Chain A
Amino acid sequence: MKSSVITFPGSNCDRDMDVALSKFGFKNKMVWHNDQELPKSDLIVLPGGFSYGDYLRCGSMASKSKIMNSVINFAKSGGLVMGICNGFQILVEAGLVPGVLLRNKYLQFICKNVHVKVDNKENTFFKNLDKKVLELHIAHNEGNYFCTKDQLKEIEDNNQIAIYYCDQNGNTNNQINPNGSIKNIAGILNKEKNVLGMMPHPERMIDENLSGEDGSIFFKNLLNNIK
């Protein structure tokens, strides 16, 4: 399976994502933001970081970079696109997934392990996952997901919420919400379910010596679903 990771100026999880994808069997290529064309890929990943320094708004300038035209076309034609953290912010700014990401509720960067509940398995990203709750890692300043009431209704009606922040038993409540996201939303899909944006970093949880191993479960499952 072929994957491509886009490097924007200021991306800083591009290498980590490359390491993770390669570890689980993807043939990964790094793609420069100023390129026009994407290499032939089964999966495109927009990695975390601070593209363009997060100036103006997180993800906004990156969403206008050259390569994004190709990414948008790729997504519109049904290709799999995944944005992690800053990548999620870029997807939002590019209009590939609905909503916005505001500054964290307590106005602080948060770096820690969190649990997320996987509710919706009718998509390529989470299909066949045998766990309902994953322990992943977050590291962000603007992960507070927000959308209008109408949008929320639409998102819910279309089953677009991919993952929710929860406790280790899968309970979602305000207390364990790390950043103030509406409905504890940690990740969201587009209507067609081929684009996923999420704040947690699965690529930081890929061996027992790191923060945990649930990232491995996610990647292995993803690879199997694409095959």
Chain B
Amino acid sequence: MLVNEKIAIQHGLKSDEYKKICKLLKRTPNITELGIFSAMWNEHCSYKSSRIHLKKLYTKGKKVIQGPGENAGVVDIEDGDAIVFKIESHNHPSFIEPYQGAATGVGGIMRDVFTMGARPIANLNSIHFGSPQHKKTKNLLRGVVHGIGGYGNCMGVPTIAGQTSFDSSYNGNILVNAMTLGLVQKNKIFYSKAAGINKPVIYVGSKTGRDGIHGASMASASFDDKIEEKKPTVQVGDPFTEKLLLEACLELMAGDSIIAIQDMGAAGLTSSSIEMASKGNLGIEIDLNKVPCRETKMTPYEIMLSESQERMLIILENGKENLAKKIFDKWNLDFAVIGKTTNTKNIELFFDQKQVVKIPVNTLVENSPMYDRKWKKSKLPKKIKHDRSKLKNLKIKETLKKVLSSPNICSKEWIWQQYDHTVMGDTIQKPGGDSGVVRVHGTDKAVAATVDSSATYCWAHPLTGGKQVVCETWRNLISVGAKPIAITNCLNFGSPEKEENMGEFVECVQGIGEACKYLEYPVVSGNVSFYNQTKEIGIKPTPAIGGIGLIKDYKKMITMNFKETGNQVLVIGKTEGHIDQSLFARTILDEKNGPPPEVNLFNEKNNGETLLSLIEKNYIKSAHDVSLGGIITAVSKMCIKGNKGLQLKIPKFLINEIEYFFAEDQGRYIIEVSLEDIKDVIKILDKNSVHYDQIGKIIDKELIINQKTKVTIDELKSYNTNWLKEYMN
């Protein structure tokens, strides 16, 4: 087929991008070459709109072994151990086909992690759906949850934490972000950089089929009315094969045969081969007739653009082919030597003894487009003047009931009970707490992980929102007694070609960067998902941040359930009564405007570090960060989990009870301290200039609010646990 500009545009390339290709090649590309360019230059693979901004993120630190740019980030957890982790989006496919979309999202991220030599030890996810009233929401939620479970459960990797939200901005574009942590020995990490000439290039795993062709291009465009027609671009997952691939790869990695390894994810064989060659500054030659194919008569174009799952590309040391083949035979997986590395710095593909592609590798990678797109700065919205007398008239019990049962706060047990969260026998904190925690097998250490996002805050003021999300993960880790180490980010936004959306992206990234730098909490991996947009309507900006932290002695892990009657309960951090953009404002007052709560990084750091030192000294019986729904929501959840009550009283000062209880000021935690330790704890808080309020003591079976309103634990439970179950059944 002859290539022209029209065909290039059908491939998602812009007119000037096509011209650039012709100029770089000094000729017109053939159709396979055009397909390769379109796969490498789309937004999903090239980061062409985001690269310039991502460079500004804080990515270094003492614990960072590998920052952004590899299959996943790697951090040091001492004693020669390291954690490999990353989050990735699978939004577009999950909307088109929720089960397979979500399943292959989970499969893809696990592959990114075990490609680096790490055994996956925990999965997390951040999933966002449209309004519960929207006709598609229920089926999408059901399909996504089945898909995540279907893949992760079969792999035997526990899903230990996650986040689910509902917002009408996701009606036409749901978000499915999957995160995986893997454990590896520091000196046994594998990278994707090719090295050496005439080294065999090996294809292993599943056969290549016609599924997922142009998946990455599909994920780089907005949706329109014909989105259902895109079903063939969604990949089909086979977790069984991936489990075999995992075991086979780890078995091969135990030796010294591998020079470089890269999974075939987005843009399949194209991006994996080109990335390896590019990083090694080498060329690569592949005979496409040798690629194991599932279907007959596949063309070079189809083979190169297929996104069939569960495949890996490996560059081996010479002479190790037989040893490697034996391992893959044992696991019943395809194994084929399909090419070799060269010194030409070209990617050269052969099919039926003819050369079908010859492209200089650097034209596809370094010369890929990079845009400094126009973006619009957003102003901090003005504070809303709430009618205090109206607030005073609200009945607290009814208000609490509405908040606890609202879709974004209610218990997500219906979801996480469908995920195997205990396999591998090291899960010491299950979903439903501040962070999931798994032990580092056979040691006293444990790793905590959390994933968070606050689209409403980011939408109201991206810069503040970006900072806030980072801080929230930081708090969630500290609440379980973990020292935060690093984050991975999944940046979900609308179209970068719209100035407003691009502005949201730029300022969220700036906020993330500032918070990471201040907290010395670097970004080590991540992914950008633009074009979460149907026609003209985009999603609220939703950076999802996954944070991980280390607990040196897992016996010191903290949980959020109230422990003992008589213990004292305190709020750490100052409550100013910030109601704007809170769940309370949206749910009860129907008020959607105003600024998000301010993020004070000094307080955030100081409060968090002080709490960690209190935990270290064994003063803290339970802890929970205060986020959505404010103090009263936080203590209600601690009551429910601990099956204990609380005599809750508002401190003597100023703001009224509703504002105090439902405000979403940042940098706060609830802590439980025994009577005998309270003096020491207060001394330490004072010494560190940490603001605190004593808000009550633990009692049996009832939450008593300001001596008037009584709510039993059973009532709290029913408010919190019923909504989702009833909605789904």
A→B interface (CB under 8 Å):
9-10, 12-13, 15-16, 19-20, 48-50, 52-55, 108-112, 137, 139, 141, 201, 203-204, 206, 209-211
Contacts and interface: CB of A to CB of B under 8 A. Distances in A.
A110 B332 CA distance: 30
Contacts of B417: 108, 110-112
Interface of B: 146, 149-150, 153-156, 238-241, 243-244, 331-332, 416-428, 430, 439, 554-555
Nearest to B555: A209
B240 A111 contact: no
Given A50-B243, A53-B239, A209-B554, A109 B422 contact: no
Given A49-B156, A53-B154, A209-B555, A111 B422 contact: yes
Contact of A9 (B155, B332, B416, B421): B332
Given A12-B423, A52-B240, A53-B240, 14 more contacts: A9-B331, A10-B240, A15-B425, A19-B425, A50-B154, A53-B243, A54-B154, A108-B146, A109-B149, A109-B420, A110-B418, A111-B420, A201-B422, A210-B422
Contact of A53 (B146, B238, B419, B428): B238
A111 B425 contact: no
Nearest to A215: B425
Nearest to A11: B156
A215 B295 CA distance: 48
Given A50-B243, A53-B239, A139-B420, A12 B425 contact: no
B425 A203 contact: yes
B117 to A, nearest CB: 18
A125 B150 CA distance: 32
Contact of A139 (B153, B331, B439, B555): B153
A141 B145 CA distance: 14
9 contacts: A9-B244, A9-B331, A49-B156, A108-B417, A111-B422, A139-B423, A141-B153, A211-B422, A211-B430
A127 to B, nearest CB: 26
Q: Which 7 A-B pairs have CB atoms at the shortest separation, nearest pair first?
A: A12-B156, A53-B240, A16-B425, A50-B154, A139-B420, A209-B428, A109-B418
A157 B150 CA distance: 38
A50 B425 contact: no
Contacts of A50: 153-154, 156, 239-240, 243
Contacts of A54: 154, 240
A82 B482 CA distance: 39
A108 B415 CA distance: 10
B417 to A, nearest CB: 6
A182 B331 CA distance: 37
A9 B426 CA distance: 22
Contact of B240 (A55, A204, A210): A55
B245 to A, nearest CB: 11
Given A9-B331, A10-B154, A10-B244, A108 B418 contact: yes
Contacts of B425: 15-16, 19-20, 203-204, 206, 210
A50 B420 CA distance: 12
Contact of B423 (A9, A10, A16, A110): A16
Contacts of B154: 10, 12, 50, 53-54
B331 A137 contact: no
B506 to A, nearest CB: 41
Contacts of A20: 425
Given A49-B156, A109-B153, A111-B418, A15 B424 contact: yes
B97 to A, nearest CB: 19
Contacts of A19: 425
Contacts of A211: 422, 427, 430
Contacts of B430: 211
Nearest to A12: B156
Q: Of residues B154, B240, B243, B425, which shows the largest number of chain A Cβ atoms within 10 Å of its Cβ?
A: B425
B711 to A, nearest CB: 25
A201 B423 CA distance: 10
A66 to B, nearest CB: 13
B146 to A, nearest CB: 8
Contact of B422 (A9, A55, A137): A137
Contacts of A112: 417
Contacts of A49: 156
A12 B155 contact: yes
Contacts of A201: 422
Nearest to A206: B425
Nearest to A32: B330
Contacts of A139: 153, 420, 422-423
A148 B554 CA distance: 48
Contact of B421 (A10, A48, A111): A111
A45 B439 CA distance: 25
